Chain A
C-alpha cells in the first residue's frame, strides 16, 4: 500500500520536474496577484498591514485554484487515469498520492514564498510566522477539497470558470480560520484556536476528499 503511494508521488514529482515551467507560473501568479493590491489601493504601511492577512490568503487561494486542473487533466488525456481506476489498489489511495504530490509541487512553494510577500506588506515577527504556519496547515485542505472539484469538472464543458464556482465556496472556512489566525496574532491575541480549527478542517477533508474524488473520477471515466 505504502509502496504504491510513494510511487505515485515520485511519478507526479518527476512529471512536474520535467515541466517545471508550469510550477513556476503558479508561483509567479501568486506574486503578481499579491503585488496588485497595493497598486490598486493605498500603499500606506498601516493600511497594508491590515490588508495583508486577507490579501495574501486570497492570493494563495487563487494560485492554488489555478493549479488544480493539472492534478488529473494530463492523466485523463493520456489514459493513465483509466489504468489507475482499474489498478488493484484502491483508487482513493492513488488519489491521495496525487493530491499530496500536487500540494508539494503547487502549494508548498507558495508557503515558502509567503514570508517574502509578508515582508512587503509590513508583516514582521510573530504575525509573519503565524502566516506561514497557517498556510502550511491550511493549504493541504485546499488541495484536498480542490481535487474533488478537479475530478468533478473533468471532461465536462464547464470551461475554466466552473471549477472556481464549485470550489471557492468550500474554501471559505479555511480562508476565515487561516486569515483569522494572522489577524489575531497582529492584535496580540491567542492563535491556538485557529490552528486547532484549521487542523480539524484538514483531518475532515483528509477523510472525505480522497473518497469523494475517487467517486467523481469513476463518474468522469464512465
Chain B
C-alpha cells in the first residue's frame, strides 16, 4: 500500500489543481491514441470480404457504443458515491460525465445508422443493440433533464443519483428484454455472434480507438468538473484567489 492520502483529492480545492495538471497530458495521449487507431483502422486493416470499405466505421462505432455504456456505469457509480458518502466531488463527477456519455450514445447511433444504410439497406433497423442504445440515450436525457429541473445543486445531485441508480439496475433488464423482443419479432437479419472471426489488426484498431475514447472521456470530464467546481465554489476564498479568475 502506498502512503498517498487519496482522500486529500476528494476536496474540490486540491482536485481542481490536480485535474488542471493532468488535463494537457490526457489530451495529448488521447490524440496520439486516436491518430494511431485511425491509422490502424483506415490504412492497415484489410478490406472486409463481405462488407467492403463500409465496415471501417466500426472503428468509431464500436468504441463509441462501449464508451456510452461504461460512462453510464461510471456516472451511476459516482452518483451513488455522492449519495452515500455525501462527497461533493463525486456528484460533480457524475454531473460532468453525463454529457460525454450522451454524446457517445448519439455518436454510436449515428455511426450505426450510417453503417446500416449500405449494409442492411435501411437507416434504422429495430435491431436489439440499436434499440437498447436508443433507450440508453433516453436514460441519459432523463438524468440531465432531472438535474436541470432542480435549482438547488445539492438537491439536484441527490435526486439525479437516485435516478442513476434505478437506471443502472434497469439497464441489464432493458437490454435483455429488448433482445428477447427482437428475437421474437424478426428473423435474424444479421447475426454478429456467428460472424467470421475478426482479423487481428481490426481488433487492435478497435481496442486502440476504445482506449482513446476512455482517455478523451476522462479529459473532458475533468475539464467539466473544473468548471463545475468554479461555478459551485465561487463564493469560497480559494476560488477568488485563483489566478485564472482575477479580472
* A-B complex is real: yes
Which residues of A are interface residues toward B (Cβ below 8 A)?
145, 148, 152-153, 156-159, 162, 165-166, 168-170, 172-173, 176-177, 180, 183-184, 197, 201, 204, 208, 212, 215-216, 219-220, 222
Q: Is the interface of B mostly helix, strand, loop or mixed?
A: helix
- Interface residues in chain B, defined as those with a beta carbon under 8 Å from any beta carbon in chain A: 83, 135, 138-139, 141-142, 145-146, 149-151, 155, 158-159, 162-163, 165-167, 169-170, 173-174, 177-178, 180-181, 184
Known contacts A157-B151, A165-B138, A165-B141; A170/B167 CB under 8 A? yes
Q: Are A170 and B170 within 8 A (Cβ)?
A: yes
Please tell me if the beta carbons of A158 and B177 are within 8 angstroms of each other in the complex.
no
Write out the residue numbers on chain B whose beta carbons fall within 8 Å of the beta carbon of A166: 142, 145-146, 163
Given A172-B178, A173-B177, A177-B177, decide whether A156 and B150 contact each other with a Cβ distance below 8 A.
yes
Top 10 A-B residue pairs of the complex, sorted by shortest distance between their CB atoms: A158-B149, A173-B177, A156-B149, A169-B138, A176-B181, A176-B177, A166-B142, A219-B158, A156-B150, A173-B173
Q: Which residues of A contact B149 (CB under 8 A)?
A: 153, 156-159, 162
User: Given the interface contacts A170-B170, A176-B181, A219-B162, does A153 sit within 8 Å of B135 by beta carbon?
Assistant: no
| Residues on the B chain within 8 Å of A162, using CB | 145-146, 149
Q: Are A169 and B173 neighbours in the complex by a CB distance under 8 Å?
A: no
What is the distance, in angstroms, from A163's C-beta to the closest C-beta of chain B?
10
Chain B residues with CB under 8 A of A176: 177-178, 180-181
Q: Which of these, A153, A173, A204, contacts B174 with CB under 8 Å?
A: A173
Verify B177–A172 contact, CB threshold 8 A: yes
Nearest neighbor of A187 in chain B, beta-carbon distance: B184
A215 (CB) vs chain B CBs: closest residue: B162
Contact in complex: B151, A169 (CB < 8 Å): no
Residues of A near B174 (CB, < 8 A) are 169-170, 172-173
Q: Who on chain B is nearest to A208 by CB?
A: B169
Chain A nearest Cβ from B169, distance in angstroms: 6
CA distance A180 to B145 in the complex (A): 31
Chain B, residue nearest A222 (CB): B155
**What separation, in Å, do the CA atoms of A170 and B164 have in the docked complex?**
11
Residues on B with C-beta less than 8 A from A170 are 166-167, 170, 174
Complex Cα distance, B175 from A51, in Å, reads: 24
Separation of A159 and B146 alpha carbons in the complex (Å): 11
A70 to B155, CA, bound (A): 22
* In contact, A152 and B146 (Cβ under 8 angstroms): yes
> Nearest Cβ distance between residue B105 and chain A, in whole angstroms?
12
Give min CB distance, A148 to chain B, whole Å. Answer: 6
**Complex Cα gap A63–B135 (Å):** 21
In the bound complex, residues from chain B placing their C-beta under 8 Å from that of A173 are: 170, 173-174, 177
Contact between B142 and A165 (Cβ–Cβ < 8 Å)?
yes
Bound-state Cα–Cα, A168 to B135, Å: 10
With CB as the reference atom, state the residue of chain B lying closest to A177: B177
Residues of A within 8 A of B177 (CB): 172-173, 176-177, 197
| CA A145 to CA B162, docked complex, whole Å | 12
Q: For residue A175, which residue of chain B has the nearest CB?
A: B177
Q: Which residues of A contact B151 (CB under 8 A)?
A: 157
Contacts of A177 in B (CB 8 A): 177
Q: Are B146 and A212 in contact (CB under 8 A)?
A: no
User: What's the Cα separation between A184 and B181 when bound, in Å?
Assistant: 11
Given contacts A180-B184, A219-B155, contact A169 B162 (CB under 8 A): no
A158-B146, A165-B141 are known contacts. Are A216 and B159 too (CB-CB below 8 A)?
A: yes
Which residues of B sit under 8 angstroms from A180, Cβ to Cβ?
180-181, 184
**Residues of B contacting A152 in the complex (Cβ-Cβ under 8 angstroms):** 146, 159, 162-163
Nearest-CB distance from A54 to chain B (Å)?
11
**How many Å from the CB of B171 to the closest CB on chain A?**
10
Sampled A-B contacts (14; CB under 8 Å): A156-B146, A157-B151, A158-B149, A166-B145, A166-B146, A166-B163, A170-B166, A170-B167, A172-B178, A173-B177, A180-B180, A212-B166, A215-B158, A220-B159
